[in-house]
Amino acid sequence: MKLAFILDPLGHLKTAKDSSLAIMHEALSRGHQVFVSLQHDLFLRHGQAKLVTKPWTFNGSMSVVGESQESLPTAFDALIMRKDPPFDNEYLYSTYLLEIAANQGAKVYNSPSAMRNWNEKLSVTRFIDLAPASLVTANNSLLREFLQEQQDIVVKPLDGMGGSSVFRLNTKDPNLGVILETITDFGRRTIMAQRYLPEILQGDKRIIMIDGEPLPYALARIPMAGETRGNLAAGGTGVAQDLSKRDLSIAHTVGPVLKQAGLFFVGLDVIGEYLTEINVTSPTGMVEIAQQTDCRPAAVFMNALERQT
C-alpha cells in the first residue's frame, strides 16, 4: 500500500513516544510505502484536490525523506490525518479540503466531516449518561452558578489539547473571577465546565479505539504531585492498565457510533466511571502501551487499515 500521513513537522515529533511514528514504522516493516506531508501541502487547483508529499523511511535512528512530489490524493491507498490541534480555522479548512479529496475518491482517516463535527470536548454530550455533569457556555454568571451547584469543577477550552488552559476551580478560589474572565475572554469565548472527578488521582485513562473496538489496555495518565491534569504533556505518568468492566461498557457503547461516523482511530478519555473527552484528531498512547504490555497498538491499527483497503 501507499500511505500518506499528514503530520506536524517531523522535527517536532518525539521519536520515543509518537504514535504516528509508531504506525509509520509498522507500515514500513510490512513493506508498505510511507509518504509524509504537512497541513498546507494539501491544496486545490481548479477544484481538484492535490497533495505534495515526500517519501519517508527510517535509517537507524534517523528519518530519511526524499524529494517532494505532487500527486492526486487518490494515488494513495489511504490518507491519514495526524495533525495535532488546536482545532483552529486552519484545521477547519483542512477538513474541508480533505472532504473534497474524499469526495473525489480518496480514502481519508479519520473522516474529515466527522473530525469537524465531533468536537473533542462537546462530543461527550452525545453520551450524556456516560459523562459527568457539565456546562458549555461563555457566560460567566452561568459558570458561577454551575460552580455553586457542583462546588468543585474543571473548566477548559473547546479547542485545546494536552491539558492546556485547563483549570480546577472551587467556590473559595480567590482567583475565580480572573480565571473565568481569562478563559472566556470576558464572555466572548465558549468553554466547557465539568464536575471535578477526584478519581483523576488514579489516572485519566486513555482508551484507544481502532475501527470501533478498544485495545485491551488503557493508558492511565497519573498527575504529578500538586497537579490536577494527568495529560502526559502536563507532566503526567502513563501506566498501562487492563480495561475495567466500566471501561469496556463505555467503549462498547461508544465504539459502534464512532465506526458508523467514520472515526477509525479515536482516544476516549475516562476518569473513574465517566467519559470526559473523545479525541478524534491525533490520539496518542500507543508507544507507552506497547512498552508496558504484550499489546502492539500500531500492529492492530495496520491490521484494521489493511482490512479497510
Q: Indicate the burial class of 9 (C-beta count within 10 angstroms; 0-12, 13-18, 19 or more).
A: exposed
The predicted-structure confidence for 5-30, as pLDDT tens digits, reads as follows: 999 999 888 888 899 999 999 999 99
Overall average pLDDT of the 155-162 stretch: 85
Residues that are catalytic? 121, 156, 206, 221, 229, 269, 277, 279
* Distance separating alpha carbons of residues 24 and 52, to the nearest angstrom: 18
pTM: 0.93
Domains of the chain: 2-110 (3.40.50.20), 133-196 (3.30.1490.20), 199-296 (3.30.470.20)
**Within 13 Å of residue 178, how many CA atoms lie on the same side as its CB?**
3
The answer on pLDDT for 132 being more than 70 is: yes
Rounded to an integer, the average pLDDT of 76-91 is: 95
Nearest-angstrom CA–CA distance, 91 and 111: 14
Q: Is residue 86 scored above 90 in pLDDT?
A: no
Range 85-108 burial, b when 16+ CB lie within 10 A, else e: eebeeebeebbebbbbbbeeebbb
Backbone φ and ψ for 44, nearest 5 degrees, come out as -115, 135
The per-residue pLDDT of the chain, averaged, comes to 94
What pLDDT is recorded for position 226? 62
Query: Do 82 and 154 touch, CB atoms closer than 8 A?
Result: no
